[in-house]
């Protein structure tokens, strides 16, 4: 064990795996099958030090780390420890009775927090596994402890319920992050030691920076490489390697909160000024599409943006429905799906690379779609500048947070690229706002000089 302590942040399991075969066999020579099964569910054996709960009477534990760090498994094991009563930091009266599980969307919560490979159903032992009732979004353990799943898309769901503890997953992706977070904290009023664990890959948003700077936050930082022993080498060769030395790599691999890009058309502070939580009635809704040139797993993203205009000449970006890795039929179906969901008045699509093929593809699926083709006659930056000017005037508003889209907006500079790639989401945004506010009948006096 002393030798293991010298190994730094490695887990005990990693230390044992590093031993020569003779020493490993000696350690496990007399272990029984029952002991082996118990060891399999012993998180203190498998966990790295930065995956174990902090000591002390903390309220917020924030794990700010890159993709693949093991944030989900860490949170699930923390919940499991609380439920089973084995956590060293448990309240004296034992397990909490009500737990809040808050995800970016209800689907993300179901697929990641509950049913994922590292989710609660997979990690809990068979003889103490919870039952998930998908109709009321509730998990129930054999000892009566209950966990309730919530979505950050509907923050008012958290306005009434009370909880002992909470797990907030992918906090930096939440659509209505401030409102959801405040409602969650106001409901943490059961028991003697309410507390919250927030796990997220970072983004430059005010709430996250506030939590990081708060001396009462127990902050854990980490990178994808911390969990290298549990990730395939091909993931590092083919995925991680592409982003080494880039801004997106600093965020998605090393878990850094990045500042604004010098010269970008939009800034984080500017976007915070136009963020709203309520929307008026709309007189027009459109879906704008920036189709990818290629298809397949490594193809560019198909930018799909839903936007609306009110009666006072203001535009609202309602949804970033962009998709990646789909066939042409797949992204066309996705675009038409949001077109019908929002009962849009028109779908516009850039056709520089697809020509009539884009319209033919859309009409094969929906012959009656109200469609207009748009063609770029100027570069991306020249097309984006009038839209950025409308943002400065407060004429384009964001209901909630649109993380991937806003990341691209705040990274778009003079070369028209984001991280060496086409800003597909921003391109669709520009077409959407142009259609709503910069067409001939609505064009304000904005000129490029």
Mean pLDDT by 10 residues, the chain (449 residues): 47 76 79 79 88 92 95 96 68 72 96 96 93 95 95 94 97 94 96 94 92 93 91 85 80 87 88 92 96 75 96 96 91 96 95 77 94 83 91 95 92 68 90 89 41
Of 201, 221, 249, the last residue of a domain is 249
What CATH number is given to the structural domain containing 311? Answer: 3.30.420.240
pLDDT at 449: 33
Q: What is the 3-state secondary structure (H, E, C) of the chain?
A: CHHHHCCCCCCHHHHHHHCCHHHHHHHCCCCCHHHHHHHHCCHHHHCCHHHCCCCCCCCEEEEEECCCCCHHHHHHHHHHHHHHCCCCCCCCCCCCCEEEEEECCHHHHHHHHHCCCCCHHHHCCHHHCCEEECCCCEEECCCCCEEEEEECCCHHHHCCCCCCEEEEECHHHCCCHHHHHHHHHHCCCCCCCCEEEEEECCCCCHHHHHHHHCCCEEEEEECHHHHHHHCCHHHHHHHHHHHCCCHHHHHHCCCCCCCCCCCCCCCHHHHHHCEECCCCCCCEEEEEEECCCCCCCCCCCEEEEEEEECCCCCEEEEEECCECCCCHHHHHHHHHHHHHHCCCCEEEEECCCCCHHHHHHHHHHCCCCCEEEECCCCCHHHHHHHHHHHHHCCCEEEECCCHHHHHHHCCCCCCCCECCECCHHHHHHHHHHHHHHCCCCCCCCCCCC
Q: Domain check: are 130 and 276 in the same one?
A: no
Q: Domain check: are 112 and 50 in the same one?
A: yes
Q: Domain check: are 233 and 347 in the same one?
A: no
Q: Domain check: are 283 and 225 in the same one?
A: no
The tally of domains found in the chain comes to 2
Q: Domain check: are 228 and 289 in the same one?
A: no
pTM to 2 decimal places: 0.79
Q: Domain check: are 144 and 288 in the same one?
A: no
Q: Domain check: are 221 and 288 in the same one?
A: no
What's the domain range around 126? 31-249
Q: Domain check: are 161 and 285 in the same one?
A: no
Is residue 262 situated within a structural domain? Answer: no
Of 215, 249, 283, the last residue of a domain is 249
Q: Domain check: are 221 and 317 in the same one?
A: no
pLDDT at 91: 38
pLDDT at 37: 79
pLDDT at 297: 66
Q: Domain check: are 272 and 207 in the same one?
A: no
pLDDT at 134: 92
Is residue 444 situated within a structural domain? Answer: no
pLDDT at 436: 96
Q: Domain check: are 231 and 359 in the same one?
A: no
What CATH number is given to the structural domain containing 85? Answer: 3.40.50.300
Is residue 302 situated within a structural domain? Answer: yes
Q: Domain check: are 337 and 376 in the same one?
A: yes
């Amino acid at each position: 064990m002393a030798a293991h302590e010298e190994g730094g942040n490695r887990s005990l399991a990693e230390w044992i795996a590093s031993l020569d075969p003779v020493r490993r066999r000696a350690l496990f020579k007399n272990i029984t099958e029952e002991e082996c099964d118990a060891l399999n569910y012993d998180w203190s054996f498998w966990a790295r030090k930065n995956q174990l709960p902090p000591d002390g009477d903390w309220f917020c534990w924030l794990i700010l780390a890159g993709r693949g760090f093991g944030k989900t498994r860490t949170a699930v094991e923390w919940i499991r420890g609380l439920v089973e009563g084995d956590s060293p930091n448990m309240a004296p009266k034992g397990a909490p009775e009500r737990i809040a599980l808050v995800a970016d969307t209800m689907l993300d919560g179901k697929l990641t927090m509950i049913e994922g490979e590292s989710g609660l159903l997979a990690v809990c032992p068979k003889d103490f596994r919870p039952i998930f009732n998908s109709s009321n979004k509730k998990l129930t353990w054999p000892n009566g402890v209950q966990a309730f799943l919530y979505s950050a898309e509907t923050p008012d769901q958290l306005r009434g319920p009370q909880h002992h503890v909470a797990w907030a997953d992918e906090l930096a992706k939440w659509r209505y992050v401030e409102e959801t977070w405040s409602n969650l904290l106001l409901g943490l009023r059961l028991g003697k030691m309410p507390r919250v664990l927030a796990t997220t890959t970072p983004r430059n948003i005010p709430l996250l920076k506030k939590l990081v700077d708060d001396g009462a936050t127990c902050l854990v930082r980490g990178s994808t490489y911390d969990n290298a022993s549990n990730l395939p080498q091909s993931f590092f060769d083919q995925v991680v390697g592409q982003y080494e030395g880039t801004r997106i790599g600093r965020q998605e691999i090393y878990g850094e909160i990045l500042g604004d890009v010098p010269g970008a058309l939009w800034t984080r502070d500017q976007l915070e000024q136009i963020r709203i939580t309520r929307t008026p009635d709309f007189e027009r809704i459109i879906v704008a599409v920036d189709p990818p040139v290629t298809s397949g797993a490594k193809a560019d993203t198909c930018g799909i943006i839903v936007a609306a205009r009110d009666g006072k000449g203001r535009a609202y970006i309602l949804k970033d429905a962009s998709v990646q890795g789909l066939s042409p039929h797949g992204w066309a179906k996705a675009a038409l799906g949001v077109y019908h969901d929002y009962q849009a008045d028109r779908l516009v699509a850039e056709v520089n690379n697809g020509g009539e093929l884009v319209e033919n593809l859309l009409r094969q699926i929906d012959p009656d779609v109200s469609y207009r083709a748009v063609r770029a006659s100027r570069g991306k930056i020249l097309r984006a500048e009038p839209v950025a000017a409308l943002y400065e005037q407060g004429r384009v508003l964001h209901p909630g947070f649109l993380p991937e889209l806003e990341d691209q907006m705040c990274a778009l500079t003079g070369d028209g690229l984001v991280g060496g790639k086409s800003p597909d989401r921003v391109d669709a945004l520009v077409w959407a706002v142009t259609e709503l506010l910069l067409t001939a009948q609505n064009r304000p006096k904005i000129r490029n000089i």
